[in-house]
Amino acid sequence: MAQLKGFKKLVPTETALKMLLDNLWFKQPETETISIYEALNRVLAVDITADEDIPRFDRSAVDGYAVRAKDTFEATQFRPKILKLTLDDELGEDEAKEVWTGNPLPKGADAVVMLENVKRLNGQIEVWAPVTPGENVSKRGEDVTRGQVAVKAHTRLKPYHLGIIAALGVSKISVFRTPKVAVLATGNELVELGQKPSSGQVIEVNRLILSMMCRELGAETVDLGIARDDVKEISRKIKVGLDAADIVLTTGGTSVGASDLVPSAVNSIGEPGVIVHGVAMRPAMPTALAVVHNKPIVILSGNPVAAVFGFEVFARPLILKMMGLEHEPRPIVAAKLTRRVSTALGRKTFVRVRVFQQNGEFLAEPISSRGSGIISTMVRANGYIVAPENREGLLEGETVHVHLFSPFEV
């Protein structure tokens, strides 16, 4: 029997991530040019600069009548101002022209009277309320001014960004290449989904969970399957991952016990190998970080919840960086803790919570579970809080920031 021993020292999470990045030679991610119709949630690689004003001309923001604002200054409901309707592209004094939303203003016009504030007569209108210059007008360049950066590089493209880019007449854009993440599970006790587990065996699900978390970020995944607890088999599969992907995640076999095979396997592949083993967090303390062939390997616990939080703290920022995003926070909500939570002094503690609303207040209920192997707690929870290293517990009623996995009802 091999000797079990404890971790010598735990590395703070920020230091650990920095040590990993310092050992990677980070080049700008590769780019590709794609159609704007395929660009939702991709990350823009170059600034989109407006080469025209948007709108391209002064246009009406409402249905109504284009006017010269000063002609309406004295209009009231009791003494309406009469304006003569014209079809010309230029307004004279006391003239008005019917316009619909989006229509260009005729020359000379500087405002639009909404149809609600007008009575139409034969060939003329009664204006019941004054308008100020610019009222109900979308001014040329009001949305985007020529020369202005309309959407910055390193932006994750949402529907509105795509709308602005299209409005500028741009249909193909340069985005960062989608990173590939290879995922390996290790453990003699594991069987594939679809196989019937016999006594003492467990269906492997961490690969599925981690792969889906990668896809939620917009990464592609490469499945490396399950490796037995064997240094050669593990290192062979990790090598396949290093060839096929930009980053390798492993789950299982990270503890310092006799099953501590993944770090050994990684070290057998190349330099510098394992950089950090054991991080000052709970769960996910036995997480290890490595670099081989200038690619990062994140060695996660076999406990699903620990694997998820190890992913959250190390793999997620790495993948985002490879996508061209410096950072992408989860939605945060401030909520009051419904009860005291004990946390570990000297370790950053990640507490799963369920946020809900009661009497107009946001409350965060800690989801208790002794082990970190309990996937169902991740379903009951809709977010997590992070207790800092210097706290021994969080108080009932204390306001905490919850990082949301999923929204909650209000």
- 67 vs 292 by CB, closer to a second copy: 67
CB of 167 to a second copy, least distance (A): 5
Beta bridge partners of 227: 186
CA gap 312, 305 in Å, rounded: 10
Q: Where are the alpha helices (DSSP H) in 201-261?
A: 206-217, 231-244
Query: Quick check: 401 binds a second copy (CB under 8 A)?
Result: yes
Counting contacts by CB under 8 A, is residue 398 touching a second copy? no
Which range in 14-22, 67-75, 167-175, 176-184 contacts a second copy by CB under 8 A?
167-175
Q: How far is the CB of 117 from a second copy (least distance, A)?
A: 9
- For residue 32, give the amino acid letter: E
* Pick 1 or 271: Cβ nearer a second copy: 1
Q: How far is the CB of 294 from a second copy (least distance, A)?
A: 28
Positions in 104-163 near a second copy (CB under 8 A): 104, 115-116, 118, 120, 134-138, 142-144, 150-151, 158-163
Omega prior to 286 cis, within 30 of 0:
no
Binder among 130, 273, 302, 310 for a second copy (CB under 8 A): 302
48, 274, 308, 394: residue in contact with a second copy (rule CB under 8 A): 308
Nearer to a second copy, 21 or 208 (CB): 208
In this chain, which stretch among 67-75, 290-298, 338-346, 400-408 interacts with a second copy, using CB under 8 A? 400-408
- Per CB under 8 A, the list member of 27, 33, 77, 329 interacting with a second copy is 329
Contact (CB, 8 A) for 123 and 84: yes
> Cβ 272 to a second copy, closest distance in Å?
26
- Cβ nearer to a second copy, comparing 1 with 78: 1
Question: Alpha-carbon distance 286 to 229, whole Å?
Answer: 17
Does 280 participate in binding a second copy (rule CB under 8 A)? Answer: no
Which residue lies nearer to a second copy by CB, 98 or 233?
98
Cis peptide bond N-terminal to 55, omega within 30: yes
Q: Does 404 bind a second copy (CB under 8 A)?
A: yes
Instruction: For residue 407, state whether it binds a second copy (rule: CB under 8 A).
Output: yes
Phi, psi of 96 (to 5 degrees): -140, 155
Cα angle 104, 106, 110; round to 5 = 90
What does DSSP say about strands 332-337 and 118-120: parallel, antiparallel, or unpaired? unpaired
Task: Assess 395 for contact with a second copy (CB under 8 A).
Answer: no
Residues with Cβ < 8 Å from 82, sequence gap 6 or more?
94, 121, 124, 125, 126, 127
How many residues of this chain interact with a second copy, rule: CB under 8 A? 105
Are residues 43 and 154 in contact, defined by beta-carbon separation less than 8 angstroms?
A: yes
For residue 138 the two structure tokens come to: 């979308």
Tokens representing residue 352 in the block:
């799963």
CB closer to a second copy, 341 vs 378: 378
Contacting range for a second copy; rule: CB under 8 A; set: 11-19, 166-174, 243-251, 287-295: 166-174
Residues 41-80, interacting with a second copy (CB under 8 A): 54-57, 59, 61, 63-64
Q: At 135, phi and psi to the nearest 5?
A: -65, 135
Contact between 301 and 251 (Cβ < 8 Å):
yes
Number of helices (H), then strands (E), belonging to the chain: the values are 8, 28
Return the amino acid letter for 29.
P
What binding mask, one character per residue, do residues 173-192 give for a second copy by CB under 8 A, x or -? --------------x-x---
Contact between residue 54 and residue 144 where contact means Cβ atoms under 8 Å apart:
yes
Beta bridge partners of 290: 274, 297
Which residues in the 191-220 window bind a second copy by CB under 8 A?
Answer: 193-194, 196-197, 199-200, 202-203, 205-206, 208-210, 212-213, 215-216
Q: Residues 344 to 383: which contact a second copy by CB under 8 A?
A: 362, 370-376, 378-379
